[in-house]
């Protein structure tokens, strides 16, 4: 599909609907709406395509932003290391 223009109640926006081939041969769908300009939408597609080609799209491990201090408060450890996801 690519980049399309659409009308909303509060203005005219652009949306992206694109299938991207990942490095392992798998296809993934990239969709985003409410982009203000066509130039921004085209740039967003180019960035997603480059990341998919380089193997960084969806393969990046998400770093936990939640930090737990240990009992003494001297050292901060990530939530997973503190035993947060034991389920």
| pLDDT tens-digit map of 4-57 | 999 999 999 999 999 998 888 889 999 999 999 999 999 999 999 988 888 766
d(CA 3, CA 18): 8
pLDDT at position 87 over 60: no
- Virtual CA dihedral for 33, 36, 39, 41, nearest 10 degrees? -10
The model's pTM is 0.61
């Amino acid at each position: 599909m690519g980049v399309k223009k659409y009308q909303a109640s509060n203005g005219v926006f652009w949306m992206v609907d694109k299938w991207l081939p990942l490095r392992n041969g798998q296809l993934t769908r990239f969709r985003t709406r409410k982009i203000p300009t066509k130039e921004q939408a085209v740039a967003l597609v180019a960035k997603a395509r480059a990341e998919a080609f380089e193997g960084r799209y969806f393969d990046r491990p998400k770093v936990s932003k939640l930090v737990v201090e240990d009992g003494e408060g001297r050292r901060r450890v990530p939530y997973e290391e503190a035993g947060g996801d034991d389920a």
